[in-house]
Structure 1
Amino acid sequence: MLVVEDEVFLAEALQAGLRHEAIAADVAFDGDEALERIAVNDYDAVVLDRDIPGTHGDIVCATLSREHPAVRVLMLTAAGRLRDKVGGFELGADDYLTKPFAFEELIVRLRALARRPPAAVRPVLEFADLRLDPYRREAYRAGRYLKLTRKQFAVLELLMRAAGGVVSAETLLEKAWDENADPFTSAPRVTMSTLRKVLGEPDLIRTVSGAGYRLAAPEKSHGS
């Protein structure tokens, strides 16, 4: 997630709140910095203040729509007029929130946007006997509700979206933590260990030496 907001207090408050929800968030304080970050980072969504210094938010939004169509844009503005909202949607925004707003509403809207991903990505994820609903923040194994921490949920979601593909520790840090995370931290390994315990047996998480982690369906036992 990228938060583009020139009000430093609001930007940092949003970043802290998103991190509390286990959503990795970077911050850009003007349009130029936003475009630089967007060019080098793989964001899932951008919370974009329309009236920002440097490159105007409208241009940032149009650039995202044109060059990064898979990135969801939730536009923030102090303007609540219908004409302004229509203008934002015409630029490619996916949703619109007028300041001041409740943080809880921002989270609900972001969750709702996550339910409208590219066609290739299913809103509800399934792997073996795992079922994960990103919108409702619920996960089950063989019908058993899994009580996960926010970080465990974020890591499991990344593994399930990879559908058996390897997810590197770097990707985990980028998506479930943030760009400022210590690359030598043991946090992904520790979180993976606790996640395994919550999921129970048989183990579905495989460690791929030197590469990362992936989900693997348990091998079926053969009778003698």
Structure 2
Amino acid sequence: MKIVLTWRALLAFGALVFVLAEAHELVHTGLGRLLCGCWGPRDFNVWSLCSTCATGHPYTNLAATLAGPAFTFAVGWVGYGLLGPRQPVARQSLGFALVLAALPFTRILGAVFLGGNDEVYALSKFMAHPVAWALGGALVLLATGPPLVRAYRALAPRRRLATFLAFFLLPFPVATAVLLGALNSLLASGFLATYGILGSPILITCWTAAVGAVLALTYRHLGALGQPVAALGAPPATFKP
């Protein structure tokens, strides 16, 4: 499979990155709402349980903390399945997009190199931080490694490493600049900071609706992100669910 960078496919991939990032946060806060009966405060990347549940409920906090990465890892493993060697190229292309749009670099960077992220934080509540760091990092590598290896092997040999690294590394600084830099700064200034549906500030809801609409309009082009090497002169494929 050779990656073909059309603007439609890249737009769909970018929208998928942001939709999955928000879904990760909503899994955290949604489980917290289910277990506590109330929504806690949040922004684009930091959340907490509501005040009536924030203390004295360590297992509730643990469950909500681990739910986010569990969802993200599940997305990567769905991509792993779609990347199977007998799958049509359009499905492999979608699988590649799911594996890399789940931002595995973020999970590896935080848990393996920085000793943070949800995984290490949750484990550190039950063991010394160095042990939690080692165990959390190992679990993250086990969860992200096989999908990443299969995504890498699915690429055509020519420029394989450069292509893989671009999709592995570049979404992280882009998402960080947009979500943590621009949008969190707007939210901190009070812009559309009133809470609305799903326990989220209106700015987050508007952003999610916007990127969700873009993804809904372009998701078929995720199947055209990767094309058979022998058929690059043919019209690009689109994903058909």
When the two structures are superposed, what TM-score results if normalisation uses the length of structure 1?
0.29
Larger proportion of strand: 1
Larger proportion of helix: 2
When the two structures are superposed, what TM-score results if normalisation uses the length of structure 2?
0.28
